Amino acid sequence: MRCLLIGGGGFLGSHLAQHLLASGSIVRIYGRKPTAIARQWPGDSHVEWVEGDFLDHHRLATAIDGCDAVVHLVSTTLPRSSNENPRYDVESNLTGTLRLLELIRRFPVKRFIFASSGGTIYGDPRSVPILESHPTDPKCSYGIVKLAIEKYLQLEHQLHGLDYRVLRLANPYGERQGNKSQHGAVATFLASALNGQEITIWGDGSVVRDYFHAADAATAFGQALSYQGEHRIFNIGSGTGVSLNEILSIIEAQTGSELRIVYKDRRVFDVPINVLDTSLARDQLKWTPRISLQEGIARKMRWLKTQSG
């Protein structure tokens, strides 16, 4: 199978590329250019690179041609910043994806996988853990656009027979992830702890999220690529809620140093709890996460130390 990863040169894409290469797939990556992350992959010489921007219609067509499956990992915005410019979010992500779907009609692509956001599309939960059937009421443009893309995929299936699957991801973390605040709590907190820097918490640290390792995310995508059942949307996460304060405690124990923590007023778009029910993925995709939070943080810490060395 030749699989195209749109945005595959980034954090999640690198783990997925590594997983697919190990399983014998041919991996083609579409992105702006081979990144420093990509140079760290084992067997990266087997990756086909097509350079181009997500909104470059002609280059994207070149990348799709000859591929059996397409995985859409691109997002030009982040949850915390998307409300600042919703029009850009719609124009780049939603309109960009609609153009991508137009292109896919021209080629015999057998499977399309979309990385959606289980952390934002549900909004304030009415029940926990959150099932795929839970009402969707996102509080940021990022989540609204992700949900809109899901709806257009359903329409594309009805009108043109697109065989798609959606993975609603919780909060992935792991090696090769950026360490700035927008890249997630685990990455940011751990990097700050190792560098002796202050850690900023928005709120009192009681916010609960569902964290899972990127290697487990990669296996979920791999299972979705081969899945032949009728279900199309899957929650992907650990299924376990962990507060920010609990993450800080794990990091403090593993680094052996006292953390410098600053608490600030909570942000309006932060829901108090988000934990996904992943039983459908377990039953249908035969997928369960295997890396515990403690082990994942230890892996991330070892990787960070190699980067600073």
Q: Which positions are catalytic?
A: 142
Contacts of residues 224-232 at CB distance under 8 Å and 24 or more positions apart, as own/partner, are 224/113, 224/165, 224/167, 224/285, 225/1, 225/3, 225/69, 225/71, 225/111, 225/113, 227/165, 227/284, 227/285, 229/284, 231/280, 231/284, 232/153, 232/154, 232/157, 232/164, 232/165, 232/166
Compute φ and ψ for 161, nearest 5 degrees.
80, 20
Rounded Cα distance between 205 and 291, Å, is 24
User: Where is 92: in which H helix or E strand?
Assistant: none
Q: What is the rounded CA–CA span in Å between residue 239 and residue 288?
A: 10
The helix, strand and coil proportions of the chain, stated in percent and rounded to the nearest 5, come to: 40, 20, 40
Q: From residue 67, how far is each of 11, 61, 135, 163, 170 by CA, in Å?
A: 22, 11, 35, 14, 28
Residues 6+ apart with CB under 8 A from 255: 190, 193, 194, 301
128: tokens are: 């926990």
Neighbours of 228 (CB within 10 A): 7
